[in-house]
A and B are shown apart, each in its own frame.
Chain A
Amino acid sequence: MVIFGFGFFLAFLKRYEFSSTGFNLLIVVLGVQCSMLIDLIFHLPYKNVLDRVAEATVSVTAVVISAGTVLGKTNPVQLILMTVVEMIVFRTSRWINSTFLQVPGKISVMHAPLFGAYFGLAISSRFSEPSPRSEKNASTPKSDLLSMLGTLFLWVFWPSFNSILVANHNERAICNTYFTLAASTVTAFALSALTTKDGRFRMTHIRSAALAGGVAVAYTAQSIKYPWIAMILGQLASVITVLGSYCLQRCLNPAFKIHDASGVHFTFGLPSVLGAFVQEVLFIVNNGTNSPRLVYAVVVHIAAFCLTISVALIVGFITGSILSLKLFKTIPVSKYFDDQFYWEFPHLAVGF
C-alpha cells in the first residue's frame, strides 16, 4: 500500500512541468488531509489508518483529474478552493450513494475518475478559452517525454490502484487490470497510426489511450472471470478514447465552450462511462436467473452512476462560476500556461 502511494504520487508529480508538478503535490497533500478530516468529522466506518489513507488517496484522484482540465488556467488560490469543495462534494455524493442506494463504499470510491472528469469539465466551461494561436499551449519533445514518464508510472501502478481497496479478490483485480492495460496499449498504437494523416503516432493518443484501459476496468476489475473479457474491454476503452479525442476536440468542445487542457474527458471521463456500462452488462450476464432482484440491482447501479455525474456537473458548474469571480484574481487569457507567473526562476532564460 505504501508502494502504491509513492507510485501514484510520483506519477502525477512528473506529469507536467513546473506548475503542474508543484500544484499537483499541493493538491494531493491537501486533498488527502481534507478527506481524512471529513472522515473523522462524520465518524465514518472504522478502519485502520492506512486503509483510510489509501481510500483518501484514491478519492484525491478526482481532484487531480479535474485539475487536469483547468491546467494552466487557475491560480493556486482557486486550486485550493477547488480541492476543498470537490473533496467535500465527492464525499457527500459517496455518502448519498452508500446510504440511500446501498452501494458498497468500495465501488463508490471507484467513481472518482468519473466524478473528477465531469467536475473538471463543468468548471472549465466557466473559464474563458485560450486563444488558439497561443504557442504556450503546446508541448515540446522534452515535456512530452516527461509526461510519458508520468504516464508510465501510472501505467505500471494502475493494477495496484484498482486492487488496493478490494480485499478478497485482490489478485484477480491485478491480473484483469494488467491484461486490460496491455490490450489497450497495443490498440492505442494501432488506432493512433490509423487516425492521423500520414500514419504516424501521436503522443497524446498513446498517453491517454494507454491509461484508458485502466480506468475502464476499475469498476469490474474484481468481477471479471476470464482475461479475454478484460482484454476486449481494454480494446474498447482504447477505441473510445482515440475516437473521442478525434471527434470531441472538433465537435463537442466548441459547442459547449469547454477547453479541456489535458484531454481529461476522453482519458478518464468516457472510459469510466464505458466501465460502468460494462459493469451492468456483466452483472446481467452473470446473474441471469433471478430477475426481480436483478432489475433492482441494475437500477441502483445506474442511479448511483447518474447521481455521481449529475452532482459532479452541477457542483462543478457552480464552483466554476464562483472561481471565475473577480475576487480570486483570475488569470488573464494571455497569461495562461505560463509558469513565470507563479514561480521564481533562477534566471529568466528558462526554456519551456
Chain B
Amino acid sequence: MPSALDTNMRFKFSILALLLEVIIIVIFGIFVEYELHADIQTLYPLFQDVHVMIFIGFGFLMTFLKKYGFSSVGINMLIAALGLQWGTLMQGFWHMEGGKIHVSIKSMINADFSTATALISFGAVLGKTSPVQMLILTVLEITIFACNEHLVTRVFEATDVGGSMTIHAFGAYFGLAVTLVLHRPGLKNKHQNEESTYHTDIFAMIGTLFLWLFWPSFNSAIVPETPSMITAIINTYFSLAACTVVTFALSSLVDQRGKFNMVLIQNATLAGGVAMGTCADLPIHCFAAMCIGSIAGIISVLGFCFLTPLLASKLNIHDTCGVHNLHGLPGVLGGITGIVVTAIRTDTGPGSRFTPSMQAAALGSTIGIALAGGVLTGGILKLPFLGHTSDQNCFDDSVYWEVRHNLPLFSLGWKMYSTLQSCSLEVFVVCTQVSAFKNVAVPQAVNVSKPPSGSFLDMLASHAIYIRLTLNKKQKQTKQIETSVEVSASSSPF
C-alpha cells in the first residue's frame, strides 16, 4: 500500500479547492450577469455536444491505464468543472462591457473549450501528478490560454474556429513542457502499472467514439454564420472519416504481424478532427478536407510509433496519453493548412479577411506561449508541498481514491508467493492452475462470499476468499493458510 505520508491531501486539497471555489463565486458575484438571447435553438444542441465531448469523451479516453480509471474520469470531471468557471471569468475579462461579464450559451461553449486545453495537458501528465497540482495547473493554464486566445483572435485576427492551434496545439505543448519540468528519472524504465488491459481499452474506446461522433459540433460550435457552420460540419466529418481509414491501414502496416494496435485506433482516428480545426469553415473542397484528415492520420500514427519513444528517451518528455501525437502534431498541421489555405484562396468567402502571415504569427505565438507557460507552470508545480507522489506510486488510483481491492485470482497467487515465502508452495500451485483459466473471465469472482452451490469456479472463488481473509490477518496464520490450501487441493477437481 502507498504510504499515507506524502500523499495525504485531506486538508491541502480540500482547503485549496474550497478557497478557489469561494474566490470564483465572489468574482462571479461582482462581475457576472446573464445576457439572454433567443439563439438557444441553434446553439444549445451544439453546446450539449461539446459538453459531452469534454466530460465523457476526454474523461473516458484517458481510462486506458489499468489502475488509473477513477482518476482519469474523476479528476477529469474536477478539472472541467473548475475550469469552466475559471474560463468563463478569464475569457469574460477580455470581453467586458460596462464592467460586467455577460454570460450566455455562447460563453458557456467557450468556457468548455478553455477547459479542453487543461484536459489535454492532463493527458500528458496523466498518472504523475496529484489532484492539488492539477487544480493549480488548471487555473494557470486557463489564464494563459485566455490571454493567448485573445492575442490570436483579436490582435492577429487569425481564424481558428475549431481551435487547432489555440486549444489543441496549445494544450499539448503546454502539457509537454510541464511534463518535461516534472521529469521523473525513476520512470525511465516502464512503470509496471503503465499499461492497459482488455477492459480498460474498451472503456477508452467509449471515450474515443464519443469524441469522434461529436467532433463536427466541436469544430463548428463557434462559427458565426450558418452557411460556414455547415461547411465546417461537413469538412470535419469527411476529414475524420478519411483519417480513420488511414489510421487502420497504417496501424496494420507498422505492426510486424499486421495486427491493429488499439492505442492507435483510440487516438490517431481523432487526429483528423484536430487538424480540421483551423480551416473547417473556410471554403475548401471536400477532397481537401479528406487529404488533411489523411495526412493527420499518417503523422499521428508515425508520431506514436517513432516520435513518442524518441521524446521519452532523448528529451526526457514522458507523454502518458500521447497527446503530442493526437493534439500537438495535428494541431500544428491544422495551423499550417490554415496558412496554406489563406495563401491560396485570398479572393472568396470569409477567408479573405485572413492573411497567411497573421496565421503564421498565431501559430508561432501559440506554441511559444504554450511552451513558456508550461515551463513556468511546471516550475510552480514542482514546489515540494503539493502532494507529489513517489515514482513507485504513479499510475495508481489507490493513492488518491478509496478503491476496493478485488484482486484477480491469478495475481492473488502471485501476492501470496511474494509475501509468505515459507508456506506458499501449495498456494501457488493452486493459483497457477487457476491462472490457466484466466481466459474464462473469472477475475472478480472473489465477490462470492458464501460456500457456493456447485459450479467449480465459484468454489475456487470461495477458497480464494478464505485465503484472502486469512492473509489480511497477516503473519501468525501461516498454519491456517496451509489448511485452507489443503481443503482446496482435496476438493478441487484437478
Q: Which residues of A contact B (CB under 8 A)?
A: 3, 7, 133-136, 138-142, 144-145, 148-149, 152-153, 155-157, 159-160, 169-172, 174-175, 178-179, 181-183, 185-187, 189-191, 193-194, 196, 198-203, 206, 210, 225-228, 231-232, 235, 334, 347-352
Instruction: Please measure, in the bound complex, the distance between the C-alpha atom of A349 and the C-alpha atom of B456, giving whole angstroms.
Output: 10
Q: Which residues of A contact B78 (CB under 8 A)?
A: 185-186, 189
Q: Which residues of B contact A156 (CB under 8 A)?
A: 48, 51-52, 55-56
Question: B445 — nearest CB in chain A belongs to which residue?
Answer: A351
Q: Is B36 an interface residue (CB 8 A)?
A: yes
Instruction: Please measure, in the bound complex, the distance between the C-alpha atom of A198 and the C-alpha atom of B450, giving whole angstroms.
Output: 31
Question: B458 — nearest CB in chain A belongs to which residue?
Answer: A348
Question: B12 — nearest CB in chain A belongs to which residue?
Answer: A199
Instruction: Please measure, in the bound complex, the distance between the C-alpha atom of A148 and the C-alpha atom of B392, giving whole angstroms.
Output: 27
A142 touches B199 (CB 8 A): yes
Contacts A140-B447, A175-B34, A228-B28 supplied; 14 other A-B pairs, CB < 8 Å: A145-B73, A169-B36, A179-B28, A181-B81, A183-B25, A183-B81, A189-B74, A193-B17, A196-B10, A198-B4, A202-B402, A231-B25, A231-B28, A231-B85
Query: How close is A279's CB to chain B, nearest CB, in angstroms?
Result: 19
Instruction: Please measure, in the bound complex, the distance between the C-alpha atom of A157 and the C-alpha atom of B15, giving whole angstroms.
Output: 29
Q: Which residues of B contact A148 (CB under 8 A)?
A: 70, 73-74
Q: Is B286 an interface residue (CB 8 A)?
A: no
Instruction: Please measure, in the bound complex, the distance between the C-alpha atom of A174 and the C-alpha atom of B105, giving whole angstroms.
Output: 8
B105 touches A235 (CB 8 A): no
Instruction: Please measure, in the bound complex, the distance between the C-alpha atom of A235 and the C-alpha atom of B85, giving whole angstroms.
Output: 13
Query: How close is B24's CB to chain A, nearest CB, in angstroms?
Result: 7
**A-B interface pairs (CB < 8 A), number:** 205
B442 touches A175 (CB 8 A): no
A203 touches B402 (CB 8 A): yes
A3 touches B45 (CB 8 A): yes
Q: Which residues of B contact A189 (CB under 8 A)?
A: 13, 17, 74, 78, 131
Contact with A along B50-73 (1 / 0, CB 8 A): 011001100110010000011001
Contact with A along B325-362 (1 / 0, CB 8 A): 00000000000000000000000000000000000000
Q: Which residues of B contact A (CB under 8 A)?
A: 4, 7-18, 20-21, 24-26, 28-29, 32-34, 36-37, 40, 44-45, 48, 51-52, 55-56, 59-60, 63, 69-70, 73-74, 77-78, 81-82, 84-85, 103-105, 108, 131, 199, 203, 206, 397-404, 406, 440-450, 455, 457-458, 465
Instruction: Please measure, in the bound complex, the distance between the C-alpha atom of A155 and the C-alpha atom of B474, giving whole angstroms.
Output: 43
Instruction: Please measure, in the bound complex, the distance between the C-alpha atom of A227 and the C-alpha atom of B26, giving whole angstroms.
Output: 11
Of B36, B397, B404, which is within 8 A of A140 by CB? Answer: B404
Question: What are 18 A-B pairs with beta-carbon distances under 8 A?
Answer: A135-B448, A136-B449, A140-B447, A145-B70, A145-B203, A149-B60, A171-B40, A171-B105, A175-B104, A178-B84, A181-B81, A183-B81, A193-B9, A193-B131, A196-B402, A210-B81, A228-B26, A351-B445
